[in-house]
Homo-oligomer: A and B are copies of this chain.
Amino acid sequence: MDLLIKNGTLISSQGKIKADLAVDGEKISAVAQSIPTGSAKKVIDADGLFVLPGAIDAHTHLAMPFGGTISSDDYFAGTRAAACGGTTTVFDFAMQDFGEKLTDTVLRRNALAAPQAAVDYAFHVAIKDLRDDLIHSLREAVDFGVPSFKVFMVYDFGVSDGDMLQILQEARACGALISVHAENREVIASRVSQYLAEGHGSAWYHYLSRPEFVEAEADERAIRWAREADTPLYIVHLANREGVKIVEKARAEGLTVYAETCPQYLEFTCDVYKRPDGRNFVCSPPMKGQASQDELWAAINRGVISTIATDHCPFQSYEKDWGKDDFTKIPNGCAGVENMFPYMLSKAGEGRVSYEKVIELCCENPARIFGCQTKGVLAPGKDADIVLYDPQQDFTITQDKMHSDCDHTIWEGVSLHGYPLQTYSRGRLVYDRGSFVGQEGWGKLLKRRLQP
């Protein structure tokens, strides 16, 4: 036995149990009322601590070219930050190049990721180009072990409604799952030009050009295409109130629609864009009004939200400053991969949500939905991706404690009650009381297969 964690409280969606947990090699080998310390190489007394599965962040953008630059965390920095926040599996979006087969996209990006990753990782492929039979490379990617894809309804690399419908139909044919960034491109473009023409360039106009209904409309439309294609859909970063209702209505009709939301939408509202540093909060979709935030929390508690993920996509301050006077020049995205699990668990500590629900949203559901069979659950035979969490430790987020390469954090000053003490990735300690202690290149690419 390589590691024995004694007397901890293990939490799953099914509840809490007081038990010992043993690790042999990279796997959890036992969960028991009492495991003798005898043969254990290392014993930890977790009395008073929570023993949790490592979180899965199904939505990050590492080293991604965007807005004339590249997101500031590469695969090492991003996965290091993840490890230090108790996240042991990171999904990155690999952006297809024009003319590129989808498996080639994965291979191209994996060449970057493999030598850098500090925890295990996986790819969704973001599809841009269907021409010349490229759409049929979906099946090849599924067979390769990358069965999840994304389409953008916005940005210049977004797809048309016609392409999106075709992609969904192909996904149905080969058992893939399509995620969607849902906002209405044309309304945004129109509002942006109006505001700029009127001389309104501050971050507040970023919100005004993408208000609630711009997202809700696209949610509704995306779901319609999924209905026509008769296939599941995963909506990333759902941030608006009406979208929650739209998802529920779709499910009541029998559709499988997953909804992801992000910690930033649960903590901040659009009011942040009125702050002097508003541009640092610019991401898309933007934070929304209080009614949307309230609805997202309610949706979490009534089972509408399927997963929490971060949309981690940081840019340095000097890059954010490009858009000081013109919000369209601000690269979209913020850091968050290190904050998700601590933030959600702290909210459980406050009673806003149950610990069990947090484990379901941050660990079990992403594992199940995206086919990570060895992840998300503390059970014998699963990967020993484990977080030791101290529910009593106070922690205030400040930039200097973070492990991203980004030079600032929108979470600056946010106080948490409870924080991770240690993170294990496949049995290896990678984070210990504030410090990254893992190793670049330790993380492995997850090949996945979706459950039918």
Contacts and interface: CB of A to CB of B under 8 A. Distances in A.
Contact of A165 (B12, B163, B190): B190
B190 A377 contact: no
B213 A188 contact: no
B15 A12 contact: no
Interface string A11-23: 0111101111010
Given A17-B379, A33-B380, 4 more contacts: A12-B14, A15-B368, A161-B186, A252-B252
B18 A381 contact: yes
A237 B216 CA distance: 26
Interface of A: 10, 12-15, 17-20, 22, 24, 27-35, 160-163, 165-166, 184, 186-191, 194, 213, 216-217, 220-221, 224, 228, 245, 248-249, 251-252, 254, 256, 298, 302-303, 364, 368, 373, 376-377, 379-382
Contacts of A379: 10, 14, 17, 19, 31
A24 B220 CA distance: 54
Contact of A256 (B220, B254, B302): B302
Given A160-B186, A189-B160, A220-B220, A380 B165 contact: no
B251 A17 contact: no
A32 B380 contact: yes
A37 to B, nearest CB: 15
A442 B268 CA distance: 55
A184 B161 contact: yes
A31 B380 contact: yes
Contact of A33 (B10, B166, B303, B381): B381
A235 to B, nearest CB: 16
Nearest to A382: B17
Contacts of A20: 380
A186 B162 CA distance: 5
Most buried by B among A12, A14, A35, A228: A14
Contacts of A245: 252
Contacts of A302: 251, 254, 256
A448 to B, nearest CB: 14
A257 to B, nearest CB: 10
Contacts of A186: 160-163
A33 B382 CA distance: 10
B15 A373 contact: yes
Contacts of A221: 217, 221
A380 B24 contact: no
Contact of A14 (B35, B191, B249, B377): B377
B30 A24 contact: no
A159 B166 CA distance: 24
Contacts of A189: 160, 162
B32 A22 contact: yes
Nearest to A30: B32
Contacts of A216: 224
B33 A33 contact: no
